[in-house]
Amino acid sequence: DTEVTQTPKHLVMGMTNKKSLKCEQHMGHRAMYWYKQKAKKPPELMFVYSYEKLSINESVPSRFSPECPNSSLLNLHLHALQPEDSALYLCASSQGQILVRTEAFFGQGTRLTVV
C-alpha cells in the first residue's frame, strides 16, 4: 500500500468557521508534510513532522495549526481563514529514518475554498 489518503476532497468554509483536514498513511512512514498549492503555482512547504514531532514550520500563520496524533495520522486545523487561503492542500509522507533516502508520497489533496 503506497497510498496517502486525504479527507475531505473538497471543503468550503466561512471565515469564522473551524474545520480540520485529515491525512492518513499506512506505509510505516515516520515523516509527514503539509504543502499548500495555489492555482497555477508549485506546492510550497508548510510543516514537517518527524517521529510525531514538529520539525519544520515555514513561518505559517497561526490560523493554521498542525497536529500529529500518531505515526499514521496528520491533521491540519483551520480557524479564521481568509479568502486568500483558498488553495489545494497536499499531504505527503516519507520513510523518515536516518540515512534512509526516499521520496515523498503525496495524497490527492483537499481543495479548500474560503468564503
Which cell goes with 5?
489518503
Whole-angstrom distance, CA of residue 112 vs CA of residue 63: 14
**CA 114: distance to chain centroid?**
17
Contact between 102 and other proteins per CB under 8 A? yes
For other proteins, the binding residues in 4-63 under the rule CB under 8 A are 4, 6, 30-31, 33, 35, 41-45, 48, 50-51, 55-56
Interacting residues of 94 by C-beta distance below 8 A, sequence separation 6+: 29, 31, 33, 102, 103, 104, 105
Contact between 94 and other proteins per CB under 8 A? yes
Size of the site for other proteins (CB under 8 A): 36
Residues that bind other proteins (CB under 8 A): 4, 6, 30-31, 33, 35, 41-45, 48, 50-51, 55-56, 88, 90, 92-99, 101-109, 111
